[in-house]
Structures are given as C-alpha cells and as structure tokens.
C-alpha cells in the first residue's frame, strides 16, 4: 500500500473518485501513519496505481501541467513541471522590467537597460566569459575596483540591444527586413546562436537574384557558413539572372574571377558567361578594360562555338581595343578547328540530373514523355508529344528538349515525319519548330557547335544519306554534305567537334562502316569500321570515346559492345550487355552509360542497364515505366531558369522562372549593397511526311527497327 498526501481539502475532493483504503484522517485522535506525514495533513491511503491516477486527476483540476513517472520497484514518483522553465523566465522578465533584483546595467548609446547577470551569462557566452573573467580578476587582485554592475557596449544600437535582451528572457525574437541588418551583427557579437540561426533562416528565405551576392558577403563577414553556402548555391543556380542585376556590376575583378571559375554555374552554354564578363567590363570600361585579359582566362572559352568566336573577334568593339585578348581567343579558335581536346572541363551544374525519354513503340507509336530523376530514382510523367512517334531522335540544346522526325504508327495510319517539336522543361509545354527538309524515320540526332544535326533515316522506302542542321535562334534547317553511305537506324555521337555516324542499314545490308563529319570543310571521311555490322544500336560518347551497344546484325539481336578510340582510330570490345537487344537508347549520366529499353526479338523491354567504365561492368538500373523500343532519350541538368524566345514572350515570364518572382524590399536590397562595399501547342501547318506504301501494320517490321515497316518488332 502507498500513502498519498493531498495538500488541501479542495484538492482532496479531486481524488474522492479513487477508492479509499483507510479513509480521510481528521476524525478522532490524530495518528501518524508514516513518519514522513505531519500530523493534521489530509491523506488518502491507496495502492500505487490508484495514487498515480488520483494525482493526475488533481493536477488537471488544479490547472498545472505535470509529467509523472512512477518507479514500480521503489514506489517513488517523479514530477516534471512542464511549464516551470517558461514561467520562471516570464517572472524574471517581469522582474527585469520593474528593476527587481537586477544586478547589472547595460548601456548602449545614451540608453540603459537593467538585467540579471545570471540570465545574460546563461544566454550568451560573450557575457559568460566577461563576467567570469571579471569575477576571477576581482578575487585574484587584478581588478580590485572593477565595477561589474555597469557595462558600456560599443557598436550596438539601443533598439537592437533591447530586442536581444527580450529574447534572452523570453526566447522570442521577431526578425524583419528592417531589423535583420542590425540583429545579425549584434547576435554574432554577443554569441547568441538561436538569434543568429533565426536571422540566417530569414535571409535564406529572402534570397533573390537582386540581393543574393550581398547576402552571401554579409553571411561571410559574420561567419554564417551555412547561409554563405546556400547563397553561393543560389548564385550558381541563377547566374543568368544575377548577372543582370546591379550587384553583379559592383563586384570587384577578383570577385568576378572567383565567380566565373565555379564549375557548378548553371548556364545553358559558355556564351552566357562570356557575355556577362563583357557587360561587367563595359559597365566601367575605362577602369576595367585593363583587367579584361585576366578575367577572360577564367571563362571557359574552349566551349564557345567557332562561329561565335569568329564573330566576336571581327565585330566586338571592346576586343578591338585589347589585342592580347584577341590573340588569346584566336589561339583557342585555332585549337578548335584542329579538333584538339579542350584543356578545361565542362561545367557541371549542381542541379537535378534528369534523363528524358520521348515516344517509342509498344503495339503502336507512343506519345509519352517521361523524366527520370537520377537523384531520387523516380519517374515523372510530363506533357505528351503532340503526335505519337517512334523512331524519333532526341537531344537537348540551349535548355530545350527537341523531338526530331520519327514515324506515327497508329491503327489505320502510318507515315514518316519531318516534324520537329521542342519541349520547355519549366513550362512543361511543347511547341512546333520548322520542319526538316525531308521526313526522317529512325534518324540519328546530335548537337554540335550550337546546331542540331539530323543524320540519315528513311522516308517510306527511301533511305537517306543526307544530313541537315538546325539553327535554333533562326528556327531554320540547312542541308550539309551527305554521308558516303545511306544509313537508317544509324547511331551518331560528337567528340571534339567531330560528328560520328556508326553502322545502320542501307536497304540491303547492315553496315559495320563508320564515318566522321568535319564542320570546317563540310566533309565526311571514312574511319575504321566496327568489328560487327549492326543497325538500331545505342550510341553515345563517354570519356572521348564512342560506345556502340547492342543492335541487330540481320539475323539476331546483339549484346556486344564496341568502343571507338577517336585519337587512335581503333575499336575494342567491352563487357557485353546482359540482354541482347536493338532499338534501345543510350545516354551518359555521371560518367556511366544507361542502356534503356529496346527489343529482344520477342518482347519490348523496360529494362535499364548501367555501365561503369572504370570496372567494365554492366549493372541493373531503375527500369522504365513500361516496355518500349525506338524511343529517344537525352540528359538535362534541369535548368532552374530557361529563357523564352520571341515566340514564347506571350507566355508569363514569371511562370518561366524557377525562383520566386516576388522581389525583396528596398531594405534588403540596401543590405546587399552595404555588404558589397500546361500550355496549348500551336497548330501545325506542315510537317507530315511520306506515307509508306510497303507497311500495312504491325508484324512486318525488321527486328532491328531499321526496316520500312511501322513497328520496332518482329
């Protein structure tokens, strides 16, 4: 049995619902049932569990929050008063406001604030160290006459000190665009981490292209590493917008060099970085022109296009005044035309890596567009193609995904296409582009020098050796020199500004031949042939080598993999894929090859295999959402912001931005300054290619996806 003392008659009533074992003391002669219970104290005798319930009832009735733990072995009960600390601080705050028991006066400017040293030392290491030092000094004789009751503070305004003190007593701080500029320095000086964190969280939520450089510098000045890191990430991801803001033009030359050297700048091409540097110099040309040569070397000019470089050297007024800069660019231009390997690496934006899969064939042509996020291994359904297509090509150019050519195999209809559509990843919308000069099914597509190349393919029973390129700014296709061989189901890749075409089907034979296009002289040259003739293979560039995966040799699907060394002009076999297939797609992500989907001679596959070149091993990856063949794939680093061209200016500009379009107030802009010193697709008017008279429907296609019939199947 356990004795439970009740502290008043009224509280005893709250426990009357519990069974009485011994009754309430008070009638007759008083007796002490336990040495710890004084005479005359009301009590109830009950067992341990009943006592616990009774105490919970009475504490609830009394309006006090308790947390009660019972030790079943010893019979002890522990009470945790959950409001105790808060109520105590409130009482101390009230006492401070009435100058009760305060033992220190803090002076900021002409204003004085009474406080308790114990609270200050508990909330701030700054005051803790100060008072401990003074206390020790007094008793060791070092500061016998030191006045510990009055402290003059320098470099903090009275209003800010009042807010810091209020936080120390209440744990509450209000951060605004007006107060944050003073709060963060003061909280840093007094070493109040919770206020520092509150200011950093507030500033992080205010990050905007117009203020982020200033906030980054502000954070660095006050040792806020996490905020500084996040501001720098924001700068990297939104460089294109930031370089249009006043803050950017106030950067020093050293700061600008540090910025443009960053690997993770999220730009569509190096031209954006070059133009930003040019504008920075022109902002104060007289003083900044001498620094241009040094800054230009931080730009990765090796990834500018030859056409752009040539135009700059001829017509840029600034470069005409800087012969050393022109000489530097001329050497880069020469190396480009000689197809030398760039001495600097490409930028790698720190943004989600996404593989886009468009179209394909599964019983009929598909209109799906899906995106695979390599970071979280998830698939997302995106806006559908305007027309179902298989045998199409796909590529990313200037932040847009292009779907090129292909065939629409639908019940009752089948035709090859010259259509070209481009997809805006931020707006999730398709819009048509100018059609190619001829329909192209099972076409090879690649990007080189800012142009989109369409190679080979077929229009009905007509097999193409022709090649054309697309200029996105002018929305125009232009024919270039044709290949030496007709190639349907050809694989294409680009290495050091050379366009390679591998294998294919010429209408009679599968080819093992390969050729290379030189854009300077508009000419194709033959290179060493593959070991195995094939069409419908996956082709991609990895580490300056061209990989050819799978395909069809005229009798069976292949699992062999060949690798072409562009410098040695030699082929060698690599580890084979686990499942033989043709009409697959091959992409490169994070230094690995992704072989996706395809046809194995019987079934349309959803399997994805991933190749690690360092180990020469294929491993199973995240599968497609459904089996398919004859689809297009391409990789994007998911630009946060993508510019709209003239045709898209009618769309909401703000909706195209990956960052919040709400602008910061003038106060935060001042902070930055002080720190420095589902759309609807347009209707088509053309683009339908020739209807194949030789194809009557599924079941008659060639097994590699290179024949004249609709399906990528048997």
Please give the domain boundaries of the chain with CATH numbers for all domains: 2-82 (no CATH), 95-205 (3.30.710.10), 354-644+685-691 (2.120.10.80)
pLDDT of residue 352: 82
Can you give the pLDDT at residue 669? 54
Q: Which of 218, 225, 150, 229 shows the shortest CA–CA distance to 183?
A: 218
Handedness of CA 699, 705, 711, 712 (dihedral sign): positive
Collect all residues with Cβ–Cβ distance below 8 Å to 310 and sequence separation of at least 6: 333
10-residue stretch averages of pLDDT, the chain, 714 residues long: 38 42 41 41 44 45 56 70 85 87 88 90 80 52 56 88 92 93 92 94 96 95 95 94 96 96 92 96 95 95 94 93 94 92 87 93 96 92 96 95 96 92 96 98 97 97 97 97 98 97 97 97 97 98 97 97 97 98 96 97 97 97 96 80 40 34 50 45 36 33 44 36
CA-CA distance, 282 to 287, in Å (whole number)? 9
Strands (E), 528-649: 538-542, 545-549, 561-565, 570-574, 585-589, 592-599, 604-612, 617-620, 632-636
Q: How high is the pLDDT of residue 435?
A: 98
Alpha-carbon Rg for the chain, nearest whole angstrom, is 37
Main-chain dihedrals φ then ψ at residue 137, nearest 5 degrees: -65, -40
pLDDT of residue 9: 42
Q: Are 278 and 315 in contact (CB under 8 A)?
A: no
Place of tokens 């502290």: 7
The pLDDT, as a whole number, for residue 664 is 52
Which residue reads 């390599």 in tokens?
A: 374
pLDDT score at 137: 46
Number of Cβ atoms within 10 Å of the Cβ of 472: 17
Give 312-352 as a DSSP string: HHHH-HHHHT-HHHHHHHHHHHHHHHTTPPPSSPPP--SS-
Task: Round to whole Å and give the CA distance between 472 and 430.
Answer: 15
Cα-Cα-Cα-Cα dihedral of 69, 70, 74, 78, to 10°?
40
pLDDT of residue 671: 57
- Residue 213 φ/ψ, nearest 5 degrees: -65, -45
Asked if 237 and 640 touch (Cβ cutoff 8 Å), the reply is yes
**C-alpha dihedral sign at 406, 389, 631, 634:** positive
pLDDT given at position 655: 33
d(CA 642, CA 681): 18
Would you state the pLDDT for residue 86?
84
Cα 238 from Cα 675, distance rounded (Å): 20
């Amino acid at each position: 049995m356990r004795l439970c003392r009740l502290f008043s008659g009224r509280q005893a009533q709250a426990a009357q619902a519990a069974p009485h074992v011994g009754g309430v003391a008070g009638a007759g002669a008083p007796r002490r049932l336990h040495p710890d219970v004084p005479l005359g104290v009301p009590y109830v005798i009950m067992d341990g569990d009943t006592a616990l319930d009774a105490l919970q009832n009475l504490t609830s009735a009394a309006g006090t929050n308790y947390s009660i733990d019972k030790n079943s072995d010893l019979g002890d009960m522990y009470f945790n008063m959950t409001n105790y600390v808060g109520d105590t601080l409130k009482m101390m705050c009230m006492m401070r406001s009435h100058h009760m028991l305060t033992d220190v006066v803090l002076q900021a400017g002409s204003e004085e604030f009474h406080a308790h040293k114990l609270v200050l030392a508990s909330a701030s290491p700054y005051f803790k160290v100060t008072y401990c030092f003074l206390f020790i000094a007094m008793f060791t004789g070092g500061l016998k006459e030191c006045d510990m009751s009055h402290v003059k503070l320098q470099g903090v305004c009275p209003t800010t000190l009042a807010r810091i003190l209020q936080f120390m007593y209440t744990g509450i701080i209000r951060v605004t665009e007006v107060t944050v500029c003073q709060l963060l320095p003061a909280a840093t000086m007094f070493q109040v981490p919770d206020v520092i964190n509150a200011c950093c969280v507030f500033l992080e939520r205010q990050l905007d292209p117009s203020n982020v450089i200033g906030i980054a510098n502000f954070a660095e000045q006050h040792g806020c590493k996490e905020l500084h890191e996040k501001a720098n990430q924001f700068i990297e991801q939104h460089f294109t917008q930031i370089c249009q803001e006043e803050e950017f033009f106030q950067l020093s030359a050293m700061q600008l060099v540090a910025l443009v050297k960053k690997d993770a700048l999220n730009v569509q091409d190096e031209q954006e970085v070059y133009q930003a540097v040019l504008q920075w110099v022109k902002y104060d040309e007289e003083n900044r022109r001498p620094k241009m040569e040094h800054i230009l070397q931080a730009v990765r000019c090796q990834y500018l296009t030859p056409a752009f470089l040539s135009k700059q050297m001829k017509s840029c007024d600034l470069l005409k005044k800087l012969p050393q800069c022109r000489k530097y660019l001329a050497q880069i231009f020469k190396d480009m035309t000689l197809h030398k390997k760039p001495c600097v690496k490409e930028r790698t934006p720190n943004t989600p890596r996404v593989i886009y899969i468009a179209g394909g064939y599964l019983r009929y042509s598909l209109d799906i567009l899906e995106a695979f996020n390599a970071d979280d291994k998830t698939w997302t359904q995106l806006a559908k193609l305007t027309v179902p297509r298989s045998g199409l090509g796909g590529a990313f150019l200037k932040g847009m995904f292009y779907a090129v050519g292909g065939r629409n195999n639908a019940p009752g209809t089948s035709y090859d296409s010259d259509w070209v559509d481009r997809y805006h990843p931020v707006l999730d919308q398709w819009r048509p582009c100018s059609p190619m000069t001829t329909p192209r099914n099972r076409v090879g597509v690649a990007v080189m020098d800012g142009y989109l190349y369409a190679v080979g393919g077929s229009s009905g029973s007509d097999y193409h050796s022709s090649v054309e390129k697309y200029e996105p700014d002018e929305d125009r296709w232009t024919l270039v020199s044709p290949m030496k061989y007709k190639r349907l189901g050809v694989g294409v890749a680009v290495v050091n500004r050379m366009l390679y075409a591998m294998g294919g089907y010429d209408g009679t034979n599968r080819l093992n031949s390969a050729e290379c296009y030189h854009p300077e002289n508009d000419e194709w040259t033959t290179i060493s042939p593959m070991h195995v003739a094939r069409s419908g293979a996956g082709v991609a560039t990895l580490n300056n080598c061209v990989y050819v995966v799978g395909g069809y040799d005229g009798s069976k699907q292949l699992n062999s993999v060949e690798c072409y060394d562009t410098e040695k002009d030699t082929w060698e076999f690599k580890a084979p894929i686990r499942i033989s297939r043709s009409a697959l797609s091959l992409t490169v992500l994070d230094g690995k090859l992704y072989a996706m989907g395809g046809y194995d001679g019987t079934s349309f596959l959803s399997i994805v295999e991933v190749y690690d070149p360092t180990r020469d091993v294929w491993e199973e990856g995240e599968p497609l959402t459904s089996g398919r063949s004859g689809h297009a794939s391409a990789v994007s680093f998911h630009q946060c912001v993508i510019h709209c061209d003239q045709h898209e200016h009618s769309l909401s500009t703000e909706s195209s931005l990956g960052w919040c379009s709400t602008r910061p107030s003038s106060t935060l802009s001042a902070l930055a300054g002080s720190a420095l010193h589902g759309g609807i697709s347009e209707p088509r008017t053309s683009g339908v290619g020739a209807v194949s008279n030789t194809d009557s429907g599924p079941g008659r296609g060639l097994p590699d996806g290179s024949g004249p019939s609709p399906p990528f199947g048997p």
